[in-house]
């Protein structure tokens, strides 16, 4: 059975008439939407990265306020927010646009925020072997806003610190200052 048929059956199980004007093409639209929302399953960070080896730059590189959208694996409801990612090179750097691409690859999968944070940090650590990696995600979750506790203003922050960011308080403080925290 294809996805569009499954979506049609889901809508019918909710009590909808999938032949009515507003829903006739919904199974196709949802299928197209899911292809984009879950496109991260078909991508790997190493396939999109351009790594520049032999670089002498050894100061902190930070890309902050990276917007992301993901879907909670528990309720298949959206969560969204901003990622702040930093690393200290150890002879390798990547193009600046590649940091948001890594965030996007992992965000475009069914996720929980904790795993998403860790996957971004682990990926950078594995591909670059930097002196340190820091990732902070701040997000709002529809599963907390539209169901369950129904708290509209609550947000969740998660962090993954590796290397110097974990061991050295001054390095961690510099990162927090650079991202405005």
pLDDT in tens, 18-64: 999 999 999 999 999 999 999 999 999 999 988 999 889 999 999 99
Question: Among 84, 153, 86, 83, which Cα is nearest to 111's?
Answer: 83
Question: Among 77, 74, 65, which Cα is nearest to 141's?
Answer: 77
Residue with tokens 């998660």: 158
Question: Among 140, 135, 71, 65, which Cα is nearest to 108's?
Answer: 71
Does domain 50-178 fall under CATH 3.30.1130.10? My reply is: yes
Q: Just list the catalytic residues.
A: 72-75, 113, 141, 143
Per-residue pLDDT of the chain in tens (181 residues, 90 and over written 9): 799 999 999 999 999 999 999 999 999 999 999 999 999 999 999 999 889 998 899 999 999 999 999 999 999 999 999 999 999 999 999 999 999 999 999 999 999 999 999 999 999 999 999 999 999 999 999 888 888 888 888 899 999 999 999 999 999 999 999 999 8
User: How many other C-beta atoms are found inside a 10 Å radius of the C-beta of residue 18?
Assistant: 17
How confident is the prediction for the chain on average, in pLDDT? Answer: 95
Q: Where are the domains of the chain?
A: 3-37, 50-178
Q: What is the pLDDT of residue 148?
A: 82
Q: What is the pLDDT of residue 152?
A: 82
What pTM value is reported for the model? Answer: 0.94
Q: What is the pLDDT of residue 63?
A: 98
Across the strands, what pairs with 70? 79
Q: What is the pLDDT of residue 5?
A: 96
Three-state secondary structure readout of the chain: CCHHHHHHHHHHHCCCCCCCCCCCCHHHHHHHHHHHHCHHHHCCHHHHCCEEECCCCCCCEEEEEEEEEEEECCCCCEEEEEEEEEEECCCEEECCCHHHHHHHHHHCCEECHHHHHHHHHHHHHHHHCCCEEEEEEEEEEHHHHCCCCCCCCCCEEEEEEEEHHHHCHHHHHHHHHHCCC
């Amino acid at each position: 059975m294809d996805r569009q048929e499954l979506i049609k059956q889901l809508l019918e199980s909710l009590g909808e008439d999938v032949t009515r004007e507003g829903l006739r093409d919904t199974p196709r639209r949802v299928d197209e939407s899911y292809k984009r929302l879950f496109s991260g399953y078909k991508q790997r960070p190493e396939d999109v990265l351009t790594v520049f080896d032999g670089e002498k730059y050894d100061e902190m590189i930070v890309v902050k306020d990276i917007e992301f959208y993901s879907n909670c694996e528990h309720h298949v409801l959206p969560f969204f927010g901003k990622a702040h990612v930093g690393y200290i090179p150890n002879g390798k750097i990547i193009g600046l646009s590649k940091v948001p691409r890594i965030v996007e690859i992992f965000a475009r999968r069914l996720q929980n925020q904790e795993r998403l944070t860790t996957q971004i940090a682990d990926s950078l650590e594995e591909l670059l072997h930097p002196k340190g990696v820091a990732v902070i995600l701040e997000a709002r979750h529809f599963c907390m806003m539209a169901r369950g506790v129904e708290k509209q203003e609550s947000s969740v922050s998660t962090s993954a610190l590796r290397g110097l960011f974990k061991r050295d308080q001054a390095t961690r403080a510099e990162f927090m200052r650079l991202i405005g925290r």
